[in-house]
């Protein structure tokens, strides 16, 4: 949601990714809950304090303006703690907040710029995953495609999970959230089975 500033500590450096506010407002209009699930390894590495993160998050919410975020859940563990952590790609944070807010996981959409976002959503059982090129997405797209290929080669036919590849959040802005919410012409995959069009 925020343009990458590499362990951002200063709330004055908060700049939303293009289309972020529009996607939140669009989801609100469709009466979809909006939940932010974030890894904050800078805290575990000792680079960022929780107080810094909270100030940055408050500024992000202020910049979203009339868009409403229902919940934010963050994991401050460093990557070295992955075996016992809720850090994405673990689905722990997603499953926790889904339980607390009574969220329909299979009917949910997860948008992320990292492979860890896509994997966390997949392992949580989220029905629609979207990988965007914003943020880290350009550097992560190859890893997402490689993960998809490994899934296809494993014979894993998870028919209920769709993966969309988009260039930016702006690609989602004009789409209606619902049964056929994705714009035409996007690359759409079911994990394990490629579809030509959504």
Give a yes or no: residue 1 inside a domain: no
pLDDT number for residue 81: 58
pLDDT number for residue 156: 57
pLDDT number for residue 100: 92
Give a yes or no: residue 153 inside a domain: yes
Give a yes or no: residue 116 inside a domain: yes
Give a yes or no: residue 124 inside a domain: yes
3-state secondary structure the chain: CECCCCCCCCHHHCCECCCHHHHHHHHHHCCCCCEEEEECHHHHCCCCCHHHHHHHHHHHHHHHCCCCCCEEEEECCCHHHHHHCCCCCCCHHHHHHHHHHCCCCCCCEEEECCHHHHHHHHHHCCCEEEEECCCCHHHHHHHHHHHHHHHHHCCCCCCCCEEEEECCCHHHHCCCCCCCCCCCCCEEEECCEEECCC
Give a yes or no: residue 6 inside a domain: no
Give a yes or no: residue 2 inside a domain: no
User: Residue 105 is part of a domain; what is its CATH number?
Assistant: 3.40.50.1000
pLDDT tens by residue, the chain, 198 residues: 878 777 888 888 888 888 888 889 888 988 889 999 999 999 989 999 999 999 999 999 999 998 899 999 999 988 875 567 789 999 999 999 999 999 999 989 999 999 999 999 999 999 888 898 888 888 999 999 988 888 766 655 455 678 888 888 777 654 434 434 444 344 545 443 333 333
Give a yes or no: residue 5 inside a domain: no
pLDDT number for residue 169: 78
Q: Which domain holds residue 50?
A: 11-195
- Per the structure, how many domains does the chain have? 1
Give a yes or no: residue 3 inside a domain: no
Q: Model-level pTM greater than 0.85?
A: no
């Amino acid at each position: 949601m925020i343009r990458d500033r590499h362990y951002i500590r200063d709330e004055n450096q908060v700049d939303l990714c293009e289309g972020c506010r529009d996607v939140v407002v669009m989801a609100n209009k469709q009466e979809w809950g909006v939940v932010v699930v974030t890894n904050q390894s800078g805290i575990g590495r000792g680079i960022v304090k929780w107080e810094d993160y909270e100030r940055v998050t408050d500024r992000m919410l202020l910049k979203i303006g009339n868009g409403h975020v229902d919940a934010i859940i963050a994991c401050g563990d460093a990557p070295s703690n992955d075996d016992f952590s809720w850090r994405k790609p673990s689905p722990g944070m997603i499953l926790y907040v889904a339980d607390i807010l009574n969220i329909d996981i299979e009917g949910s959409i997860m948008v992320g710029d990292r492979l860890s976002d896509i994997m966390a959503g997949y392992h949580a059982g989220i029905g629609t995953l979207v990988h965007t090129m914003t943020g880290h997405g350009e550097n992560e797209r190859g890893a997402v495609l490689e993960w998809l290929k490994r899934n296809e080669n494993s014979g894993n036919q998870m028919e209920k999970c769709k993966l969309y590849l988009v260039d930016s959040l702006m690609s989602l802005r004009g789409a209606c959230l619902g049964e056929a919410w994705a714009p035409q012409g996007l690359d759409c995959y079911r994990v394990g089975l490629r579809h030509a069009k959504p």
